[in-house]
Amino acid sequence: MKEEEMSGAGEIFSFTVVHDGLEQFKMQIPYVMALIKMKEGPFVTGQIVDCSPEEVKIGTRVTATLRKVRSEGKEGIIQYGYKFTIVP
């Protein structure tokens, strides 16, 4: 395998609206998980954020963004990960 940097730009290839997710994501229900075709060619999965599920459509352009995923208490480790937002 070879490491490659991607632009973060892509488009929604497929998606689902999650209505009954894992316990740690219950406060986000409903949320959208999507299969994103990146501009560079690879497909990745990710959550679509900062919009309602009704705004998400196949073919919509998105961009990756870094978000806090969780933290372990006040002084614990903070975990960040990528999610996607719709390009206006």
For the stretch 7-62, pLDDT in tens is 999 999 999 999 987 777 777 789 999 999 999 999 999 999 999 999 999 999 99
Give a yes or no: residue 2 inside a domain. no
The identity of residue 67, as a single letter, is R
Give a yes or no: residue 75 inside a domain. yes
What's the number of domains the chain is made of?
1
Q: Please tell me the pTM assigned to this model.
A: 0.84
**Residue 50 belongs to what domain range?**
9-86
Cα–Cα distance between 46 and 34 in angstroms, integer? Answer: 6
Q: Looking at the predicted structure, is the pLDDT value of residue 6 above 80?
A: yes
User: If you ran DSSP here, which 8-state letter would residue 55 be given?
Assistant: G
Give a yes or no: residue 4 inside a domain. no
Give the pairing type, strands 43-49 and 31-38: antiparallel
For the stretch 59-83, pLDDT in tens is 999 999 998 887 887 778 888 899 9
Distances (CA, A) of 61 to 42, 50, 53, 86: 15, 14, 15, 6
